[in-house]
Amino acid sequence: MTVDGVAYRCVVLCFLFRSRGGAREVLLGLKRTGFGTGRVVALGGKIDGRESAVGAAVREVAEESGIELARDELRDAGRISWSFPAQPAWNMAAFLFTADAGVTPPVASEEIEPRWYAVDDIPWSGMWQDAPYWIPALLDGRQIDARIVMDPDNEGVASAVVD
Ligand SMILES: Nc1[nH]c(=O)nc2c1ncn2[C@H]1C[C@H](O)[C@@H](COP(=O)(O)OP(=O)(O)OP(=O)(O)O)O1
């Protein structure tokens, strides 16, 4: 995808939810390989070839957690772009989805180690620094349109607009 002449790699992120003892939990995972290794992220990854965003989300959730979702179980949670001015090859745009996880327990994959977190106990310090700017709105059930610009160190947040 290209915006104003700048290229963005298209990815999907899917936030799965469940209820435990009246508390709402979200499935996040420690990334073990590839981009963002060592960070806690939602399940997701690149959209392959001519695959649709929903198709990619169903595939990535299955590959990374073993949880099989039907396409119509995914809810559109909006869009986000991350721009890395100091490293434009890392620019990414994600289609965001949410879904209820059902009862299948997540299984760790080579790529990610999934774990349930209470929505009021998100491990912010282990996540990308932009996560607190946009994930709370998504946890509230809002559909978002977010644009994040990263600092020159590719870690901090230079600006974050969340509509
Ligand atoms: N600033 C940022 N904040 C954030 O919360 N997530 C980010 C981010 N920048 C990138 N991501 C996410 C989006 C995407 O799901 C993930 C990296 O994409 P991929 O999973 O495609 O990376 P990989 O290198 O593991 O790809 P594969 O080789 O396809 O497994 O990082």
Domain that holds residue 27: 2-162
**How far is it, in rounded angstroms, from Cα 77 to Cα 141?**
8
Q: What is the ipTM of this complex?
A: 0.91
Mean pLDDT of 9-21: 96
Average pLDDT, the chain: 96
pTM for the structure as a whole: 0.95
Pocket test for ligand 1, best of 35, 130, 155 (most atoms within 8 A of CB): 35
Task: Tally the domains of the chain.
Answer: 1
The domain that holds 157 is classified in CATH as 3.90.79.10
Token pair for 106: 């997540």
Pocket test for ligand 1, best of 43, 46, 113 (most atoms within 8 A of CB): 46
How far CA 56 is from CA of 64, 97, 113, 118, 160, in Å, comes to: 12, 11, 19, 26, 26
Mean pLDDT of 94-100: 98
How far CA 50 is from CA of 7, 40, 55, 132, 146, in Å, comes to: 17, 28, 10, 32, 24
Question: Is pLDDT above 80 for 4?
Answer: no
